A = this chain, B = another copy of it.
Amino acid sequence: MSADRQGDVSKEAKQESVLLRPLGTAAAPGQELVCVFGTGDMGRSLGLRLLQSGYAVVYGSRRPHSCGPLPQGAQATGHEEAARSAALVFICVHREHYDFLETLAPQLKKKVLVDVSNNLKKNLYPEANAEYLQRLIPGAHVVKAFNTLSAWALQNGPSDANRQVYLCGNSDEGKQAVAEVATKLGFTVLDKGSLSAARELEDFPLQLFPEWRMPLRVAVGLTASFFFYLLIRDIIYAYVDQGKDVSFRIMVSLANKVFPIVSLIMLSLCYVPGVIAAFLQLYRGTKYRRFPDWLDRWMLCRKQLGLVALAFAFLHVLYTLIIPIRYYVRFRLSASTISQIKENRTSVFDTTLAWRADSYYSMGILGFGLFLLLGITSLPSVSNALSWREFSFVQSKLGYLTVFFCTFHTYLYGWDRFLQPYGYKWYTPPAYLLSLVVPSLLIVLKLLLLLPCVNRSLMRIRQGWERNDAEDGSARVLLT
């Protein structure tokens, strides 16, 4: 399960030792020759893999005779000669040094140049490396590829997150040629279209869960604030008011209040933007106008919001289920039994309470089950297998059902608690009440949208209808 890179190194070594034998026939006529510019780690790793896959490799280098250790079986020559020798040239050079390539323009004419370069950070340069390369050597077929793989994968071939080679370029035959090499190297190829996609490909290896940032920030923020809110109300208050030290409650009781609250709020937060958008469209009378940025960004991370909420719900479930094995709970229970006997009280069974408690649990379980279902359908391989009608059915219909169950679950938890004064320690409302604000609001607004009249006009707008006449409409499109 670990992706430590050394594993691959050794694998490389192994394949090497396995595959070096065929390389005895390196000069075989059938064997294809490819050229690699650059003898850094990138160039060497790639060359090694190419040799292993049965290619002949020529390195192009400034100092062909002192360019450090090369994978065995590879030759090294000057750039011109290397460029001349092969139809396919891998550019394993940092963008900073591309300029020297300009001088090779004549030799590289009609050649396929594979730009495998990456930058250290995004937006370092006005244009993508590959586009810059194409501009330097207009006569060549520049293809962006292999840059989304780690140097390790270039040495060792496919492994977990390094199975696919994304490529893009303006020349189809160029892409075709690179695709064949990638396949021979054991990767699966994904064509991303024209060279204009190069920027996207160059940013890919730099990204670290970009679309998860915002949801995680929200989660951390909510968790922290509710944690302190509850710390004050439950722990500190008890200490100040009755001098009791119940600090141990932090570990489970308090956590198990924070998790469900955050989960419920975040779950509803991924349906709120949809409702807002709907009202915006109704107000504007058209779907052909862009939304404010904040709304866009919000919408684009709904899936992540939901999955983080699911994680919190999962923790809530586990924290709830271990309650009965807690020392504290067992102690309290037996204590109450003992006191009952000592004081010879006889407690009577309260059917309403039983009803309420049980339905409270049922709602929670059903809500969590549905929530899990939403999570499963958002797995790439599952959502790909669904028709969009099925997907939107699951995500919106079942999604709202989940919101409803979970909200109802919380209402049942609260029951009439909000009436009791002791709940308002230091004049602060109980936390669960705060958690109910967003979902309750959401449900109300959604119900409004479902009113036949409202729903009808919304549908018409979504089918392309515009309240104003055509000219004006197109004009508006022009304005955006």
**B196 contacts A399, C-beta separation under 8 Å:** no
- Judge whether A285 is part of the interface by a CB distance below 8 angstroms: no
Query: Which residues of B sit under 8 angstroms from A306, Cβ to Cβ?
Result: 1-2
**A248 contacts B354, C-beta separation under 8 Å:** yes
Q: Chain A, 74-103, contact with B by CB distance < 8 Å: what is the 0/1 string?
A: 000000000000000000000000000000
**B365 contacts A3, C-beta separation under 8 Å:** no
- Judge whether A392 is part of the interface by a CB distance below 8 angstroms: yes
Q: How many residues of A contact B (CB 8 A)?
A: 166
Query: Which residues of B sit under 8 angstroms from A372, Cβ to Cβ?
Result: 314
With contacts A69-B466, A288-B69 taken as known, whether A326 is within 8 angstroms of B357 at the C-beta atoms is yes
Copies in the complex: 3
**A369 contacts B251, C-beta separation under 8 Å:** no
Query: Which residues of B sit under 8 angstroms from A351, Cβ to Cβ?
Result: 245, 247-248
- Judge whether A44 is part of the interface by a CB distance below 8 angstroms: yes
A164 to B330, CA, bound (A): 55
Query: Which residues of B sit under 8 angstroms from A463, Cβ to Cβ?
Result: 41
**B333 contacts A330, C-beta separation under 8 Å:** yes
Query: Which residues of B sit under 8 angstroms from A20, Cβ to Cβ?
Result: 480
Q: Chain A, 304-328, contact with B by CB distance < 8 Å: what is the 0/1 string?
A: 0111000100110111111111111
Query: Which residues of B sit under 8 angstroms from A354, Cβ to Cβ?
Result: 248, 326-328
A302 to B50, CA, bound (A): 26
- Judge whether A389 is part of the interface by a CB distance below 8 angstroms: yes
A420 CB to nearest chain B CB (Å): 18
Q: Chain A, 438-480, contact with B by CB distance < 8 Å: what is the 0/1 string?
A: 0000000000000000000000001110100011011111101
**A290 contacts B16, C-beta separation under 8 Å:** yes
A358 to B464, CA, bound (A): 57
Query: Which residues of B sit under 8 angstroms from A476, Cβ to Cβ?
Result: 69
**B361 contacts A326, C-beta separation under 8 Å:** yes
**B153 contacts A388, C-beta separation under 8 Å:** yes
- Judge whether A270 is part of the interface by a CB distance below 8 angstroms: yes
For A192, A245, A315, A361, the residue with the greatest tally of chain B CB atoms inside 10 Å of its CB is: A361
**A480 contacts B160, C-beta separation under 8 Å:** no
Chain B residue nearest to A279 in the complex (CB): B6
- Judge whether A273 is part of the interface by a CB distance below 8 angstroms: yes
Q: Chain A, 357-377, contact with B by CB distance < 8 Å: what is the 0/1 string?
A: 111011001101100111100
- Which of B14, B44, B324, B326 sits near A290, CB closer than 8 Å? B14
A320 to B325, CA, bound (A): 9
With contacts A2-B306, A14-B296, A248-B358 taken as known, whether A384 is within 8 angstroms of B7 at the C-beta atoms is no
A353 to B288, CA, bound (A): 63
**B271 contacts A4, C-beta separation under 8 Å:** yes
- Judge whether A401 is part of the interface by a CB distance below 8 angstroms: no
- In chain A, positions 261-289 with a C-beta closer than 8 Å to chain B are 270-271, 273-274, 277-278, 280-281, 287-289
**A358 contacts B324, C-beta separation under 8 Å:** no
Chain B residue nearest to A338 in the complex (CB): B341
A6 to B279, CA, bound (A): 10
**A347 contacts B361, C-beta separation under 8 Å:** no
Query: Which residues of B sit under 8 angstroms from A475, Cβ to Cβ?
Result: 69
Chain B residue nearest to A473 in the complex (CB): B69
For A148, A374, A382, A387, the residue with the greatest tally of chain B CB atoms inside 10 Å of its CB is: A387
**A191 contacts B183, C-beta separation under 8 Å:** yes
- Judge whether A378 is part of the interface by a CB distance below 8 angstroms: yes
With contacts A13-B290, A306-B2, A333-B334 taken as known, whether A388 is within 8 angstroms of B149 at the C-beta atoms is yes
Chain B residue nearest to A44 in the complex (CB): B464
A289 to B302, CA, bound (A): 46
Query: Which residues of B sit under 8 angstroms from A399, Cβ to Cβ?
Result: 1-2
With contacts A162-B388, A184-B193, A327-B353 taken as known, whether A477 is within 8 angstroms of B302 at the C-beta atoms is no
A223 CB to nearest chain B CB (Å): 13
- In chain A, positions 225-267 with a C-beta closer than 8 Å to chain B are 245, 247-249, 251-252, 255
Q: Jot down 9 A-B pairs with beta carbons below 8 A, ordered by A.
A: A2-B271, A3-B396, A4-B302, A151-B464, A161-B387, A207-B387, A247-B351, A255-B362, A337-B337
